[in-house]
């Protein structure tokens, strides 16, 4: 509960900025540098994860990232059950509630559960909602899941509400990595007004002013991944962090 309580406190104070690092795409040195520089330039936390495990470096890089940051939480954002490790502050145990594929709703979680117990890592039940971002996302393909249509705010809201009633403690709304269209402000705002648990929003956010809009609409945690993978730019991290921190909730 320690990290979840921290996230609740963080969400009460301000909108927060999380950088998503895909350990598969990073050397150990890059993992250390990106984690350090993210924290130094204002990121409030780091998510570690991706859709694939192509290289055998998830745990090594996670350990490096956790060792490199001083204060901010490091959370696992798993693609599949094999992203379980003791070297994170917590693991977002995702159930893809927008899916009707039982493997992504409960199958992967069942496979992860014994490892979570063995490692003693804090697991935070997370209702993951995939929204159409204007292109076929890796998550959509890998999870055999149809995303919720971009303009159907009410459908997203009832999924979030159902996840909350089922006991999930975070909602993560994702347009998918590299989305053409990030999740709309109106959808974020409707979901946020219906739930009382922290809300993560990501997918296709490439500019600080857009990130600020997502925070102003109600995202407690705004996530960027791709934009930093294309060129790790500390000035851009600072701009994202400042824009998100200075946003005003609607």
Q: How far is the CB of 35 from ligand 1GP (least distance, A)?
A: 17
**CA–CA distance, 222 with 230 (Å, rounded to integer):** 18
Q: How far is CA 166 from CA 32, 92, 115, 249, in A?
A: 37, 16, 23, 27
**CA–CA distance, 47 with 249 (Å, rounded to integer):** 23
Among 38, 41, 95, 224, binds ligand 1GP (CB under 6 A): 224
* Residue 75 C-beta-side C-alpha neighbours within 13 Å: 27
CB 51 within 8 A of CB 65: no
**Angle, nearest 10°, between helix axes 153-165 and 185-194?**
30
DSSP letter, residue 171: E
Q: How far is the CB of 72 from ligand 1GP (least distance, A)?
A: 17
When the beta carbons of 3 and 140 are compared against ligand 1GP, the nearer one is: 140
Judged by CB under 6 A, the number of residues near ligand 1GP is 14
Q: How far is the CB of 225 from ligand 1GP (least distance, A)?
A: 3
CB proximity list for 101: less than 8 A, separation 6 or greater: 143, 144, 145
When the beta carbons of 68 and 173 are compared against ligand 1GP, the nearer one is: 173
When the beta carbons of 10 and 79 are compared against ligand 1GP, the nearer one is: 79
CB 237 within 8 A of CB 203: no
Q: How far is the CB of 176 from ligand 1GP (least distance, A)?
A: 6
Residue 132 near ligand 1GP by CB under 6 A: no
The region of 27-35, 78-86, 170-178, 186-194 touching ligand 1GP under the rule CB under 6 A is 170-178
Residue 211 near ligand 1GP by CB under 6 A: no
Residue 204 near ligand 1GP by CB under 6 A: yes
- Helix or strand or coil: residue 46? strand
Residue 124: strand pairing partners: 92
Q: How many Cβ atoms from other residues are within 10 Å of residue 179's Cβ?
A: 23
Among 7, 15, 19, 20, binds ligand 1GP (CB under 6 A): 20
The region of 92-100, 102-110, 189-197, 217-225 touching ligand 1GP under the rule CB under 6 A is 217-225
Residue 177 near ligand 1GP by CB under 6 A: yes
Q: How far is the CB of 199 from ligand 1GP (least distance, A)?
A: 13
- The residues binding ligand 1GP (CB under 6 A) are 20, 174, 177-179, 202-205, 223-227
């Amino acid at each position: 509960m320690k990290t979840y309580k921290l996230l609740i406190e963080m969400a009460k104070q301000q909108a927060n900025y999380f950088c998503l690092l895909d350990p598969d795409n990073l050397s150990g040195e890059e993992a250390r540098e990106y984690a350090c520089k993210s924290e130094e330039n204002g990121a409030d936390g780091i998510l570690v994860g991706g859709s694939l495990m192509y290289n055998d470096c998830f745990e090594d890089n996670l350990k490096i990232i956790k060792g490199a940051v001083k204060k901010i939480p490091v959370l696992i954002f798993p693609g599949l059950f094999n992203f379980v490790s003791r070297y994170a502050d917590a693991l977002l145990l995702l159930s893809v509630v927008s899916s009707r594929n039982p493997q992504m709703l409960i199958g992967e979680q069942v496979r992860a559960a014994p490892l979570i117990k063995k490692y003693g890592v804090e697991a935070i039940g997370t209702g993951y909602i995939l929204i159409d971002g204007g292109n076929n996302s890796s998550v959509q393909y890998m999870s055999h899941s149809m995303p919720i249509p971009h303009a159907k705010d009410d459908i997203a809201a009832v999924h979030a509400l159902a996840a909350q009633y089922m006991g999930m403690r975070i909602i993560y709304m994702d347009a998918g990595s590299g989305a053409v269209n990030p999740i709309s402000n109106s959808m974020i705002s409707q979901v946020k007004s219906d739930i009382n648990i922290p809300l993560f929003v990501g997918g296709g956010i490439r500019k600080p002013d857009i990130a600020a809009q997502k925070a102003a609409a109600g995202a407690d945690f705004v996530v960027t991944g791709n934009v930093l993978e294309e060129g790790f730019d500390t000035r851009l991290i600072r701009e994202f962090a400042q824009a998100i921190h200075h946003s005003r909730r609607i």
